[in-house]
Structure 1
Amino acid sequence: MENFAITIARQYGSGGRTVGKMLAEKLAVPFYDKQIIQMASDESGIDVKLFGQVEGGMSVKPSLFNKSGLYKGDLIPPTDKGFISDENLFNYQAKVVTDLADKESCVIVGRCVNYVFKDRPNTLRVFVHAPWDFRVEKSRGKISGGDEEIEKFLRKDDKRKQEYYRRFAGGDWSDATNYDLCLNAGKMGFEKCVEAILAQMEVMGIGK
């Protein structure tokens, strides 16, 4: 069996990360999320805080080489001024997830991996979303403050993810055409989402 990769993009509060973890456990494969940032830092030698800043929407340094910002797959060497540019930080994360998928089957959450793996065989790209009220409810306890603060956070996070995706992948982060499968976790529930992903893997012949 060839290695397979399941990529999961998700709205905050939709439960996409939970679905990803449940899926990884079901498939008995590794699950990767925020640890990718540390791995990219270790790989490049660049301070992990800089990776966090770019992901959080704070620009570190625009690239002098890649004006469009879209991922091209090339790393900028340490001797060049663009080494710690936003684009190169993204490139290192893309290299890490690519190396991981080359080495083993896995489930990867976030970081525009659906775009990085858009032409990769044996890959299923999933987007998990949910109704607004569901997202607010699931965010309680994770975000301090009342519903007004939670809703403000969710709008800001959606905007951040959209801008991040547009910058490094182009297009619309929530556009269904960027994915192979879109799931409404609020209506389906997490277990049914996992079942739907497994069924889609069967249809596409992934993991065989």
Structure 2
Amino acid sequence: MNNNLVITIGRQCGSGGKAIGLKLAERLGVKCYDKELLNLAAKNSGLCKELFESHDEKPTSSFLYSLVMDTYSLGYTTSAYTDMPINHKIFLAQFDTIKKLAMEESCIIVGRCADYALADFPNVVSVFISADEEEKIKRLAKVNNLPEAKARDLMIKTDKKRSSYYNYYSSKKWGDAVSYELCLNSSSLGQEGCVDIILDFAKKKQEWLKK
């Protein structure tokens, strides 16, 4: 296992989690992977990028999931799951890409069950970012140029999708404090405040691991 620092960020829609990830990446001088992860997984797996975009953070049949994870646990390679449903190929390709990134470089990874994929990596900091509902709705309305009612609908639908995906693939509960090492409310701290606390936490964790 290497000493690369990887910070994973789960986030509520409109909480500014991606922006916090970008600020962390800038402060650390590393890359932040969000949608970029889809391109890497597509390249590594040989599947087309559009498939990853259409299946991004979407759950699927529990029976088929059990089947594919049993196969994965046996250590089968990409070529061995050729006949699996496409959504499972996509999940496993992302899973493998996340692990490959953690082995190769320090980085920030937003969403996509990265904390679960890297559960065996000691030098990983798992974070969840929430925010007050009114602030999330206003941010989404501004960023997407939407009426607040539609922004609220977007928030609810996106969080439902993210929650279902995370709960399904990780066997943990999305947004639950016990699922992460650090949970922060960006409405209480601001984005820069969240960045400061995450970096301080990461530093102290690294110091603790060296003891």
TM-score (norm 2): 0.87
The code of the aligned residue for 1:47 comes to C
Question: 1:124 deviation in Å?
Answer: 0.4
Structure 1: how far apart are the matches of 2:97 and 2:165?
Answer: 18
Distance verdict in 2 for CA 1:77–1:66, change over 3 Å: farther
* CA apart distance, 1:62: 8.2
Structure 1 pair 89–192 and aligned structure 2 pair: CA distance change class (3 A): same
| Aligned equivalent of 1:77 | 79
Indicate if the aligned counterparts of 1:55 and 1:164 stay in contact, CA closer than 8 A.
no
Q: CA contact under 8 A between 1:69 and 1:167: conserved in structure 2?
A: no
Q: Contact 1:63–1:85 at 8 Å: present in 2 too? A: no
Equivalent pairs, count: 206
Offset of residue 64 of structure 1: 5.2
- CA gap of 1:79–1:178, structure 2 versus 1, over 3 A, is closer
Identity of aligned residues (%): 32
Residue 26 of structure 2 corresponds to residue 25 of structure 1 = yes
Question: Is the alpha carbon distance of 1:2 and 1:69 closer, same or farther for their aligned partners in structure 2, counting shifts above 3 Å?
Answer: closer
What corresponds to 1:193 in structure 2? 194
Given the alignment of the two structures, is residue 111 of structure 1 paired with residue 148 of structure 2, yes or no? no
Secondary structure of the residue aligned to 1:36 is helix
Counterpart in 1 of 2:67? 67
Cα 1:143–1:121, aligned 2, differ >3 Å: closer, same or farther? same
Which residue is 2:173 aligned to? Answer: 172
1:64 and 1:81 in contact (8 A); partners too? no
CA contact (8 A) 2:11 2:17 kept: yes
- What's 1:5 paired with? 6
User: What is the CA–CA distance in structure 2 between the aligned matches of 1:136 and 1:74, rounded to whole Å?
Assistant: 43
User: Where do 5+ consecutive residues of structure 2 fail to align?
Assistant: none
Q: Which amino acid aligns with 1:169?
A: S
Matching of residues 49-198 of structure 1 within 5 Å: 49-55=50-56, 57=58, 66-67=66-67, 72=73, 74-77=76-79, 80-82=82-84, 84-198=85-199
SS in 1 for 2:39: helix
* CA RMSD of superposed structures (Å): 2.6
SS at 2:146's partner residue? coil
More helix by share: 2
